[in-house]
Amino acid sequence: MRKRSALLLAALIFILASCKTTSPAVEEQVNVLALLEQDSSIYVRIPVSSHVDLTSAVLSSAFDGVSKKDARSFAQRVSELYAGIGTVEDRSRIQVASSASIPQVAVGTVFSKKHGWSKRTYNAKTTDAVEKNGSFTVYDPSAGELSVSFPSPSVFVSAAKVEPLLNRYAEYSDYADLSATSYSSWVSQQSSDILFYITRPGQYLRNLIGQSVSIGTDAIYGSLSYIPSKKNPDSYSGLYSMMFRIHLLDKRAAAAFRSVLSLSFGMMGAKITQTDDFTIEISDVEITQKQIEDLFMRDPVTGKHFKVVGDKIIKE
C-alpha cells in the first residue's frame, strides 16, 4: 500500500511541478467538500497553505520513497484539502477532494502505462451528462486501488472508487447545497486551523479521551492550531493545540462525563467547560504530529455509536 501511495504522490508532484506558467481555464467554482459522499465517519479540512510543514511531514513519513522536499513541493501547490475518512461498513475508506493549481499538460504523460497506470473513460451517471460534460478520464494504478481523476484544472479527486465523486462533480448543482449535513457548516469555515468533524463519535471517543465510555453522543468537532517553537519560531515544532466539543444526547449525562474528562485531561492542563446543557468543550490539549496521525488514521476499533430515533437512543 505504501508503494502504491508513493507512486500516486510522485506522479502528482511531477505534474504540480511542471508547467508553472499554465493559466487556469475559466470554470464553474466548485466547493470540493460537496464532492465527498455524505456517509463518512470523519470529515477534515486542511488549509494546506497554512500547514505546509505538517502536510509535508505527514506525506514524507507515510509514503515510502517520498522525500520531504518532494512532499513539500506538492503541498505548496494545494490551497485546501478535504478528506472523508471511514464509514460504518468500511472503516478504511478514504475519499479526497482538493483545490489545487494543477497544470493539465503533463497528466497524460505521467499517468501512462509506462509509469504503471492504465487510462479509462468514465461516463458519469447523470440525466444530462452530455450537456454537463460528464465524461472523465480516470487513471488506475496497475497494482493498487487508489484511482485518480482531474475533473477540472483546479480540482483533484482520489479514492479507491472514484466514480461517486465524479458523479457528484458532473451534477454539481444537485449536490452543492450542504445545508442538510451536520458537518459542513463547521469544516467549511475559512480558518487557518485544521478543522474536523466526527459524525460517528462512538468509534473514535476512546482515541480522544484514552478510555472506553458508554455515553451517547452524536457529534465531536474541533480544531487543531499550530504551536510555534519558543526557541526557534521559524522552525517546525510539530506541536498543535487541540480543541474539541462533545455533543451529548442526554443532558443528564453531562456531570458524570465531565468527571471522566477531568481524569483524562486534568493532569495535562486542559480546560474543560460546559458550554450548554448538551455540549462539553475541551481545549488547550497539546498534541504532536504523530498523535494527529493516530487520531484520524488508525483503525477505530473502539466504542459504540448511539443515535436518536424518535424519542429513543439506540446503538447503531
Question: For 227-270, what is each residue's pLDDT tens digit?
Answer: 998 889 888 898 999 999 999 988 888 888 888 888 878 777 88
- Give the end of a domain, one of 175, 191, 223: 175
| Whether residue 37 is found in the same domain as residue 132 | yes
Q: How confident is the model at residue 127 (pLDDT cuts 50, 70, 90)?
A: low
Q: How confident is the model at residue 105 (pLDDT cuts 50, 70, 90)?
A: low
Together in a domain, 145 and 108: yes
Q: How many domains does the chain have?
A: 2
In a domain, 290, yes or no: yes
- The answer to whether residue 136 is domain-embedded is yes
Band of residue 2 on the pLDDT scale cut at 50, 70, 90: low
Identify the band that residue 111 occupies on the pLDDT scale cut at 50, 70 and 90: confident
What's the whole-number mean pLDDT along residues 62-91?
75
* Whether 149 and 214 share a structural domain: no
132 and 219 fall within a common domain: no
Q: Regarding predicted confidence, which is higher, 66 or 71?
A: 71
Of 25 and 17, the structure prediction assigns the larger pLDDT to 17
Is it the case that residue 213 has pLDDT exceeding 70?
no
Residue 166 and residue 209 share a domain: no
pLDDT at site 33: 96
Query: Could you tell me which residue, 310 or 42, shows the higher pLDDT?
Result: 42
Helices 289-297 and 52-62 sit at what angle, rounded to 10 degrees? Answer: 70
Q: To the nearest whole number, what is the mean pLDDT of the chain? A: 79
pLDDT tens for residues 147-173? 888 898 889 898 889 999 999 998 888
Q: Please tell me whether residues 42 and 155 are part of one structural domain.
A: yes
> Is the pLDDT score of 310 beyond 50?
no
At residue 26, does pLDDT exceed 90?
Answer: no
pLDDT at 210: 66
The answer to whether residue 190 sits within a structural domain is no
* Overall average pLDDT of the 186-207 stretch: 86
Residue 193 lies in a domain: no
18-22, 144-148, 270-274: least confident range? 18-22
Host domain of residue 205 = 200-315
Instruction: Output the nine-digit C-alpha cell for 222.
Output: 474541533
Among candidate residues 175, 192, 223, the one where a domain is terminated: 175
d(CA 227, CA 118): 43
In this predicted structure, the answer to whether residue 46 has a pLDDT above a threshold of 90 is: yes
Q: Is the pLDDT of residue 133 over 70?
A: no
Residues 148 and 207 in one domain: no
Q: Among the three residues 158, 175, 192, which one is the final residue of a domain in this structure?
A: 175
Q: List the grid coordinates of 77.
A: 501547490
Question: What pLDDT shows up at residue 268?
Answer: 79
Find, among 142, 140, 136, 174, the residue nearest to 159 by Cα: 140
Please, are residues 46 and 75 in contact by the beta-carbon 8 Å criterion?
Answer: no
C-alpha cell at 177: 447545497
Cα dist. 65→7, 11, 50 in Å? 9, 12, 25
Domain assignment present for 181: no
Q: Are residues 164 and 71 in the same domain?
A: yes
- Domain identity same for 250 and 292: yes
pLDDT in tens, 262-296: 887 877 788 999 999 999 999 999 989 888 877 66
Domain co-membership, 167 together with 207: no
Count of positions (residues) in the chain: 316
Higher pLDDT, 26 or 213: 213
128 and 269 in a single domain? The answer is no
pLDDT at position 278? 93
Whether residue 274 sits in one domain with residue 125: no
- Residue 261 has a pLDDT of 84
> Domain for residue 223, yes or no?
yes
Asked whether the beta carbons of 258 and 275 are under 8 A apart, the reply is no
* 121 found inside a domain: yes
User: Is residue 100 domain-resident?
Assistant: yes
